[in-house]
């Protein structure tokens, strides 16, 4: 099953501050790039202290042994966090022989999964992010400890086992009583092996009798009755918490044995897998899933979970589902919220919510689009320690009920895969929407029905997967982009004869669906079709706010069969990726370069020829000292804060067709986020080329206007860049200055270095360069490890320091290239432009710097300052062009003049008068609403007392 769930994007930024001597600098001193953020609502009690789960990338398999990963920089890092063990989590697992199964689903590789334990008391997030930065891990995450999903009621007089007739179990057992070869893995707190209503249904491993020998060679000695994964022994008897005893009885207590209760699974067997320690803490939950799958369980029940997920858990679920063909069934959680809960919310897991005896959602049960099915979970009577019985409530009780039904389905349809069993369970549920009007589409397919699951086999069950969304450009979805949505439609059950998929947007006012239907036609059982040749198409309207979430539904219908797939897309993001040449970087709407938001989770960083990101953070800084120094920027600030000074006015966007380069960007921001704002308006552009000689740089230009009523004095503007040329050894870099090229550059001092540079292109003010040793002692010019203050920022903008990292082994460095001073009167504009460059050597960097200077002088439009000194009137191309709703027209007048600005159609008729008889001078921007115009070509004309200029614009609806 593919999880139908809205995606969430969570970002955070934490600066790590540690104290070490300059002579013995720790690799852990510098804040790591933000590859990982702790999920909201997770606390220290929710994961094992000083323990990490990690998976090595397959290309580094040769570095891996059972108790080590032989990478020099990793071992340096591990030494500094006081590593006590690096061991393979599943030493008996071998890599899959093939990458994918016949449906294209990827096999999980658990052979490179490690458990890392350490002694350091550094924040776990920082340790994880530093380990990620080494570059050899697929993932690194905490070892989460989930919670049991039960609620102890105080109503002991409820009728015994009302759930069985509710799910039509007696009728179902009349068809199938269960196969003893079908085993339910009860991954929980353990069982009472001697309970009279459980012992006969426990799956016995006769191949490994209790004799102190691993007779079956599976790596576990005497796992005759199951296994205690938490304490690594052969006794799965419960300790501290009898939760697993109750869950086992619901799923599979012995039935028709003239004793106690009936289990839903009837004659099916169950395998007790204990995952809790002596205190009842679930320290080995996902490891328990792996054990159950590796030991033949067709159904695996998980009546536990938490709000934290992560790739480790998903990899275990993938292993159980794809590698071992099992169905994982899990509790939805008891918070009464619409929230994701793991493992239930993982892809391929059957997510079970709870209902009571009237099919109304239990008040404690979670709900949402991620739910697959419901089952009774209130006041459920089941086995209890001391050969007794008790009531309990929770999604913990609903999950084994559904798992028992799944086991009966598997018994009756033995050829079904685990996923097919799950799909049959879903499509045969009883509809309960009338009983739950407050939860439309948020309780999955309904409440499970065993009888229907065995008798109704004519329905297809189609899942949408391998979703791809593209705009055929930079895949950063901004206003006027057309999204193309494609994916696979996999039918798990009866053949579909005429499947039609329809996309809807929940009546969002910010998008227009241009193509909403994909006719897939007939799809056989286990057949796959896609809509690659006929994608869904969605236009993002210019009115969409920044970072707007659009919720979509794909309805799949074939006759009476109907199913929904839910997903969301963030549109009109305030950054754009530049990827058309050897440089790949991100330009944001608020002055940041490389990453949006200083947390390294959105954006490409700065790469060269497919390298890892070479940049930790970068962005524009503007400072003046009219009274006391004041600096506006979006870079790190004091403590763990960042300076959110710039605010977007016109989000960065592509100019189409391009006017200057092969990839033109334009945007505008101001300083209104600053508590003591500089009165500046910044119109910024970026340009990149894909032609030989121009492949190794991107040009950025900033037109900074004084919008205040007082002069800006001694103003400087520049780019701060914290370079990490080689990520795992960021303290082995060097920064220097090339005065001829007006370029600050950085490089790795080791073998095969990459060079990066920032070159000043504009000539309206002198170049300044300040190289920073990121040194906590303060001997590196400024100490930005303990916070980057306003005075420090103004210092690096307005003064010079030629070199950093001059020790033989280099240092952790940052570099600032700026221009100034400017003295701007109210209304005046300063222009600064830079080339962001990368190369294989200093000579290579210098060659690209020369090419960038020529391009800037010959191709980039005149700066506003140059406009103002020009004798000519300048009319710029409107943007965006083509346009759909609004477009901007900019012109510059060297002296005061009466101005007319009008729009004409192809026949010369006036469509709109934007300005008439206004006396103006200098640079001006008019935003023109074209919502009432039809698609086509139009002209706009600027007329003054001395000249008339005309340009063409396009309107597309």
Of 722, 717, 796, the residue nearest 760 (C-alpha): 717
Return the structure tokens found at 321: 């589902």
Burial of 278 (0-12, 13-18, 19+ CB in 10 A): exposed
Of 175, 233, 179, the residue nearest 203 (C-alpha): 179
Of 270, 388, 403, 312, the residue nearest 349 (C-alpha): 403
Contact 407, 351 (CB under 8 A): no
Report the alpha-carbon distance of residue 175 to residue 173 in Å, rounded. Answer: 5
Residue whose structure tokens are 């969002």 = 508
Query: φ and ψ at 723, to 5 degrees?
Result: -85, 140
Report the alpha-carbon distance of residue 244 to residue 865 in Å, rounded. Answer: 75
- 396 included as an active-site residue: yes
Report the alpha-carbon distance of residue 352 to residue 149 in Å, rounded. Answer: 11
638-677 in b/e burial notation, b at 16+ Cβ within 10 A? eeeebbebbbbebbbbbbbeebbbebbbbbbbbbebbeeb
Report the alpha-carbon distance of residue 644 to residue 597 in Å, rounded. Answer: 9
Burial of 318 (0-12, 13-18, 19+ CB in 10 A): buried
Catalytic residue among 243, 295, 683, 769: 243
- Residue 74's H or E segment, with its range, is helix 72-80
Catalytic residue among 276, 354, 390, 396: 396
- Residue 165's H or E segment, with its range, is helix 163-166
- 474 included as an active-site residue: no
Residue whose structure tokens are 């809807």 = 504
How far CA 759 is from CA of 606, 683, 752, in Å, comes to 15, 19, 23
Burial of 806 (0-12, 13-18, 19+ CB in 10 A): middle
Report the alpha-carbon distance of residue 85 to residue 333 in Å, rounded. Answer: 33
124-133 and 72-80 helices, crossing angle to 10°: 170
Question: Could you tell me the sign of the dihedral formed by the alpha carbons of 604, 608, 613, 619, in that order?
Answer: negative
| Contacting residues for 102 by C-beta, under 8 A, at least 6 apart | none
Report the alpha-carbon distance of residue 235 to residue 326 in Å, rounded. Answer: 24
Report the alpha-carbon distance of residue 634 to residue 646 in Å, rounded. Answer: 7
How far CA 533 is from CA of 229, 490, 549, 565, in Å, comes to 49, 17, 26, 20
Report the alpha-carbon distance of residue 235 to residue 214 in Å, rounded. Answer: 15
DSSP for 805-870 reads: --STT-B-EEEEEEEEEEEEPTT-EEEEEEEEEEESSHHHHHHHHHHHHHHHHHTSPPPHHHHHH-
DSSP for 378-425 reads: SSEEEEETTTEEEEEBSHHHHHHHHHHHHHHHHHHSTT--HHHHHHHH
Catalytic residue among 109, 150, 179, 188: 188
- Residue 801's H or E segment, with its range, is none
The set of catalytic residues is: 188, 243, 396
């Amino acid at each position: 099953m593919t999880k139908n769930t809205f995606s969430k994007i969570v970002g955070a930024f934490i600066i790590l501050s540690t104290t070490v001597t300059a002579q013995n600098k720790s690799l852990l001193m510098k804040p790591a790039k933000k590859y990982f953020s702790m999920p909201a609502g997770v606390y220290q009690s929710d994961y094992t202290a000083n323990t990490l789960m990690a998976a090595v990338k397959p290309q580094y398999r040769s570095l891996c042994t059972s108790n080590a990963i032989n990478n020099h920089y990793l071992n340096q890092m591990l030494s500094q966090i006081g590593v006590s063990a690096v061991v393979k989590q599943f030493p008996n697992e071998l890599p899959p022989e093939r990458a994918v199964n016949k449906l294209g689903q990827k096999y999980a590789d658990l052979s490179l999964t490690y458990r890392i334990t350490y002694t350091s008391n550094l924040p776990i997030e920082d340790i994880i992010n530093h380990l990620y930065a080494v570059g050899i891990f697929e993932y690194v995450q905490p070892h989460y400890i989930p919670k049991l999903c039960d609620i102890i009621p105080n109503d002991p007089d409820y009728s015994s086992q009302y759930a069985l007739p509710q799910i039509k179990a007696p009728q179902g057992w009349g068809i199938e009583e269960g196969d003893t070869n079908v085993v339910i893995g009860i991954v929980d707190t353990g069982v009472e092996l001697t309970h009279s209503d459980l012992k006969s249904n426990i799956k016995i491993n006769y191949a490994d009798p209790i004799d102190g020998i691993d007779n079956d060679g599976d790596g576990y000695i005497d796992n005759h009755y199951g296994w205690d994964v938490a304490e690594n022994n052969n006794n799965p008897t419960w300790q501290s918490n009898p939760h697993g005893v109750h869950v086992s009885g619901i799923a599979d207590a012995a039935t028709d044995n003239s004793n106690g209760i009936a289990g839903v699974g009837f004659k099916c067997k169950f395998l007790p897998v204990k995952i809790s320690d002596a205190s009842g803490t679930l320290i080995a939950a996902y490891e328990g899933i792996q054990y159950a799958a590796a030991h033949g369980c067709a159904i695996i029940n998980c009546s536990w979970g938490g709000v934290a997920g992560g790739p480790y858990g998903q990899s275990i679920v993938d292993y159980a589902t794809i590698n071992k063909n099992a169905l994982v069934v899990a509790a939805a959680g008891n918070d009464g919220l619409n929230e994701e809960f793991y493992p239930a919310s993982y892809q391929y897991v059957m997510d079970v919510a709870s209902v009571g005896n009237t099919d109304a959602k239990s008040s404690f049960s979670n709900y949402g689009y991620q739910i697959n099915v419901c089952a009774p979970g209130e006041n459920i009577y089941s086995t209890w320690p001391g050969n007794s019985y008790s009531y309990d409530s929770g999604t913990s009780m609903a999950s084994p009920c559904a798992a028992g039904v799944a086991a009966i389905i598997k018994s009756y349809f033995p050829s079904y895969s685990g996923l097919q069993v799950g799909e049959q369970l879903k499509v045969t549920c009883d509809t309960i929407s009338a009983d739950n009007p407050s939860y439309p589409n948020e309780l999955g397919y309904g409440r499970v029905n065993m009888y229907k699951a065995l008798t109704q086999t004519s329905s297809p069950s189609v899942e949408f997967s391998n979703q791809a969304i593209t705009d055929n450009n930079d895949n950063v979805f901004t206003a006027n982009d057309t999204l193309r949505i494609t994916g696979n439609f996999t039918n798990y059950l009866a053949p579909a004869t005429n499947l039609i998929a329809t996309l809807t947007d929940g009546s969002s006012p910010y998008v227009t669906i241009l193509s909403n239907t994909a006719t897939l036609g007939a799809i056989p059982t286990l057949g796959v079709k896609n809509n690659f040749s006929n994608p869904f198409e969605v236009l993002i309207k210019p009115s969409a706010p920044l970072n707007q979430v659009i919720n979509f539904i794909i309805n799949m219908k074939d006759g009476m069969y109907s199913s929904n797939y839910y997903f969301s897309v963030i549109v009109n993001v305030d950054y754009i990726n530049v990827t058309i040449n050897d440089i790949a970087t991100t330009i944001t709407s608020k002055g940041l370069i490389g990453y949006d938001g200083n947390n390294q989770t959105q954006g490409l960083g700065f790469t060269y020829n497919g390298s890892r990101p070479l940049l930790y953070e970068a962005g524009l800084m503007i400072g003046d000292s009219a009274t006391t120094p004041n600096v506006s920027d979006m870079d790190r600030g004091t403590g763990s804060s960042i300076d959110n000074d710039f605010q977007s006015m016109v989000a960065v966007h592509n100019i189409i067709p391009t006017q200057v380069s092969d990839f033109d960007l334009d945007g505008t921001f101001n300083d209104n986020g600053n508590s003591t704002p500089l009165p500046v308006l910044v119109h910024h552009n970026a340009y990149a080329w894909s032609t030989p000689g121009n492949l190794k740089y991107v040009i950025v230009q900033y037109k900074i206007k004084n919008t205040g009523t007082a002069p800006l004095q001694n103003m400087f503007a520049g780019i701060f860049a914290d370079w990490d040329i080689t990520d795992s050894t960021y303290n082995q870099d060097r920064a220097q200055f090339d005065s001829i090229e007006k370029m600050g550059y950085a490089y790795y001092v080791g073998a095969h270095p990459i060079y990066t540079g920032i070159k000043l292109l504009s000539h309206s003010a002198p170049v300044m360069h300040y190289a920073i040793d990121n040194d906590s002692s303060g001997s590196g010019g400024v100490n930005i490890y303990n916070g980057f203050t306003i005075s420090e920022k103004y210092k690096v903008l307005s003064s010079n320091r030629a070199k950093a990292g001059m020790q033989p082994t280099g240092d952790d460095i940052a570099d600032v290239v700026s221009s100034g001073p400017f003295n701007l009167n109210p209304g005046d504009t300063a222009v600064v432009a830079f080339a962001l460059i990368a190369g294989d050597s200093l000579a290579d960097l210098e060659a690209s710097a020369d090419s960038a200077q020529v391009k800037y002088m010959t191709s980039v439009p005149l700066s506003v300052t140059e406009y103002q000194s020009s004798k000519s009137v300048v009319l710029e191309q409107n943007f965006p062009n083509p346009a759909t709703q609004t477009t901007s027209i900019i012109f510059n007048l060297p002296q005061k003049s009466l101005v007319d600005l009008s729009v004409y159609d192809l026949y010369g008729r006036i469509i709109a008068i934007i300005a008439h008889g206004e006396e103006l001078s200098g640079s001006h921007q008019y935003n023109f609403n074209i919502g009432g115009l039809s698609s086509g070509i139009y002209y706009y004309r600027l007329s003054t007392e001395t000249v008339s200029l005309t340009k063409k614009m396009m309107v597309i609806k």
